[in-house]
Amino acid sequence: MDQTQHDRLLIIDFGSQVTQLIARRLRELNVYCEIHPYQNVTDAFLAEFAPKAVIFSGGPDSVTREGSPRPPQTVYDMGVPILGICYGQQVMMQDLGGRVEGGKISGGGGTAEFGRAYVTPSDERIDLLAGWFLEGREQVWMSHGDHVAALAPGFEVYGTSPNAPYAITADVSRNFFAVQFHPEVHHTPNGATVYENFIKLAGFKGDWTMAAYREEMIEKIRTQVGDAKVICALSGGVDSSVAAALIHEAIGENLTCVFVDHGLLRLNEAEEVVGMFRDHMNLRVIHAQEQDLFLGELEGVSDPETKRKIIGKLFIDVFQKYADQIDGAQFLAQGTLYPDVIESVSFSGGPSVTIKSHHNVGGLPEKMGLKLVEPLRELFKDEVRALGHELGLPASFIGRHPFPGPGLAIRCPGEITREKLEILRKADAVYIDQIRKHGLYDEIWQAFVAILPVRTVGVMGDGRTYDYACALRAVTSVDGMTADYYPFSHEFLGETATRIINEVQGINRCTYDITSKPPGTIEWE
Ligand code: XMP
């Protein structure tokens, strides 16, 4: 993506697990950066990208191995500052005439090192380390098998740890810096300062703000779309909502959103979403009321995958039906985020996130001959939230927990009935109300109720009850790929169970799901 007005920093990815964190640290400093896998970084790419500085990420390979990942040699001749991290340090040393040794040998030049370590400074201080070593030593996070055994010509040592004599190295005359540890991770508490110093000495202005981004994206959308019409599947989730709000600012009435109501939404959800976008923000929103269609097709179905397939197919059919009514639509808007983009060009070709394929309108652009507008492609989730604030979306909306495309269908194991959905909606609303009242909502990645396909016996007042049992779920997570159950207090759980059983007719028993992911998943189906 072209952000030519800003200074650009290039992160060359050698496959580290934490490369994205480098980008995060830089964006926090208002620096525009992009991550590109090393294979894509050719001479032509470098010339076109014209970075003002370059960072080499860490990576799992060994530079001592024939054919291990390298940048093109020209990167060293561009006259721009370079910072190499871990594997990136070893790449620099090997490429520039030093020596790297492999394996877990101890003594001599250094050993493999994983985890916390402490770096102490050499006598001479450099700008990269301004604000470091104020209290003598700095905690850093190491994660390496190989180590540098001889420095490349021109490099000096500026910090050492017990197992890494070359923990911090630099050729100050060329502004080449190479560190053995990972300054981007949380366990290097003063690590952000290293990035701050690096971009300062590289001359970055730090002018990549959300307000600037908003203005530029609006211009860009106008240029891309012209007078053509755009359609957007509005799910009520943060990504599609922010994308719609931004595109609306750019092209106004030429954007039409389709909100598919499949009858599997939470209490008052359709009214809230349609009300906000249509009535408060003046967007054209088609409220596709297709509850009967979806619930009809789902009748009697209890297999989770069959449910998902039915919903996915109907969603596309319905969206297409409404989109066909919009004359001359040429573009489809999608809230694709930067992690999705990186994932798809991933260095390691690792397992890509299939989560969204259920829920976005995958395959539709080709089928309908539509081009894509993806204004969030450069942003991380919390940057999308910041942009949402910038665009005036309410905080309560922007901070909402994720909600799956198939909706309550996958929180209703077994057959789905209107009766069960009604009960589930009410129980979920009470649960979320409890979480909000206790000030826990923002600490939790996702919380919901699942209604179980089982009735249990209870006693209320003097009478016997025979009603549904439900499970409460709340997890913490960073990306939904792994998760841990949230450690509510017993008081909270007791109070919530009492409220649900008292306030929601049809439920007489509450359980709390304490499964992490893996081995469980977040949703029940
Ligand atoms: P699981 O249950 O796989 O969920 O641990 C991980 C995250 O993905 C959400 N999820 C979905 N989102 N369409 C979506 O848009 C889906 O079909 C879908 N299935 C799960 C889930 O809510 C959690 O945030």
14 and 109 housed in the same domain:
yes
Q: Which CATH number covers residue 466?
A: 3.30.300.10
Give percent of the chain with pLDDT exceeding 90. 73
Going from the Cα of 148 to the center of ligand 1, the distance in angstroms, rounded, reads 43
Domain that includes residue 482, residue range: 417-512
Residue 352, both tokens: 């890509």
What is the reported pLDDT for 316? 87
Q: Does residue 391 belong to any structural domain of this protein?
A: yes
Among candidate residues 113, 138, 184, 525, the one labeled active-site is 184
Burial 437-459 (b: 16+ CB within 10 A, else e): eeebbeebbbbbbbbbeeeeeee
216 and 351 housed in the same domain:
yes
Q: Does residue 265 belong to any structural domain of this protein?
A: yes
Residue 182 is among the residues annotated as catalytic for this protein: yes
Q: Does residue 3 belong to any structural domain of this protein?
A: no
What is the reported pLDDT for 71? 97
Q: For the segment 170-201, what is each residue's pLDDT rounded down to a tens digit? A: 999 999 999 999 999 888 999 999 999 999 99
Crossing angle, helix 490-503 and helix 418-437, to 10 degrees?
Answer: 140
What is the reported pLDDT for 445? 94
Residue 401 is among the residues annotated as catalytic for this protein: no
429 and 389 housed in the same domain:
no
251 and 361 housed in the same domain:
yes
174 and 237 housed in the same domain:
no
Q: Which CATH number covers residue 234?
A: 3.40.50.620
Distance CA 370, CA 366 (A): 6
The protein residue with its alpha carbon nearest to ligand 1, atom 9, reads: 404
What is the reported pLDDT for 341? 61
Is there a cis peptide before residue 375, judged by omega within 30 degrees of 0?
no
Q: For the segment 5-32, what is each residue's pLDDT rounded down to a tens digit? A: 789 999 999 998 788 889 889 988 999 9
The mean per-residue pLDDT over the stretch 247-264 comes to 96
What is the reported pLDDT for 311? 94
220 and 172 housed in the same domain:
no
Band (pLDDT 50/70/90 cuts) for residue 362 is: low
Q: Does residue 193 belong to any structural domain of this protein?
A: yes
The mean per-residue pLDDT over the stretch 430-456 comes to 97
HSE, CB side, 13 Å, CA atoms: give it for residue 485.
Answer: 14
Q: Does residue 408 belong to any structural domain of this protein?
A: no
Q: For the segment 274-317, what is each residue's pLDDT rounded down to a tens digit? A: 999 998 889 999 999 999 999 999 999 999 999 999 998 999 89
Band (pLDDT 50/70/90 cuts) for residue 163 is: confident
Distance CA 129, CA 110 (A): 22
Q: Does residue 136 belong to any structural domain of this protein?
A: yes
Could you tell me which of 186, 185, 155 has the C-alpha nearest to residue 172? 155
Domain boundary among 167, 202, 237: 202
The mean per-residue pLDDT over the stretch 385-414 comes to 93
HSE, CB side, 13 Å, CA atoms: give it for residue 4.
Answer: 4
Q: For the segment 44-64, what is each residue's pLDDT rounded down to a tens digit? A: 999 999 999 999 999 989 999
The protein residue with its alpha carbon nearest to ligand 1, atom 18, reads: 404
Is residue 479 scored above 90 in pLDDT?
Answer: no
Residue whose CB lies within 8 A of the most ligand 1 atoms, among 314, 336, 473, 522, for a mutation test: 522
299 and 439 housed in the same domain:
no
Structural domains counted in the chain: 3
Is residue 339 scored above 90 in pLDDT?
Answer: no
Domain boundary among 138, 169, 202: 202
When comparing pLDDT for 473 and 4, which is higher? Answer: 473
369 in the Ramachandran plot: left (φ > 0), alpha (ψ -120 to 50) or beta? Answer: left
- Is 446 within 8 Å of 477 (Cβ atoms)? yes
394 and 256 housed in the same domain:
yes
Q: Does residue 490 belong to any structural domain of this protein?
A: yes
Q: Which CATH number covers residue 93?
A: 3.40.50.880
Give percent of the chain with pLDDT exceeding 70. 92
Residue whose CB lies within 8 A of the most ligand 1 atoms, among 234, 235, 523, for a mutation test: 523
CA 5 vs. chain centroid, Å, equals 26
Band (pLDDT 50/70/90 cuts) for residue 103 is: low
Residue 28 is among the residues annotated as catalytic for this protein: no
Domain boundary among 202, 229, 259: 202
The verdict on pTM exceeding 0.75 is: no
160 and 257 housed in the same domain:
no
Q: Does residue 409 belong to any structural domain of this protein?
A: no
Band (pLDDT 50/70/90 cuts) for residue 121 is: very high
248 and 275 housed in the same domain:
yes
Distance CA 214, CA 219 (A): 9
271 and 344 housed in the same domain:
yes
221 and 249 housed in the same domain:
yes
Residues with CB under 6 A from ligand 1: 355-356, 358-359, 402, 404-406, 446, 480, 517, 521-523
Is there a cis peptide before residue 519, judged by omega within 30 degrees of 0?
yes
Q: Provide the sign of the torsion angle of the four alpha carbons 395, 284, 275, 239, taken in this order.
A: negative
The protein residue with its alpha carbon nearest to ligand 1, atom 17, reads: 358
Among candidate residues 147, 182, 248, 287, the one labeled active-site is 182
- Is 500 within 8 Å of 431 (Cβ atoms)? yes
The protein residue with its alpha carbon nearest to ligand 1, atom 6, reads: 480
Could you tell me which of 463, 468, 464, 451 has the C-alpha nearest to residue 509? 468
Band (pLDDT 50/70/90 cuts) for residue 358 is: very low
Is residue 94 scored above 60 in pLDDT?
Answer: yes
Which residue's entry shows tokens 């109720």?
449
What is the reported pLDDT for 457? 97
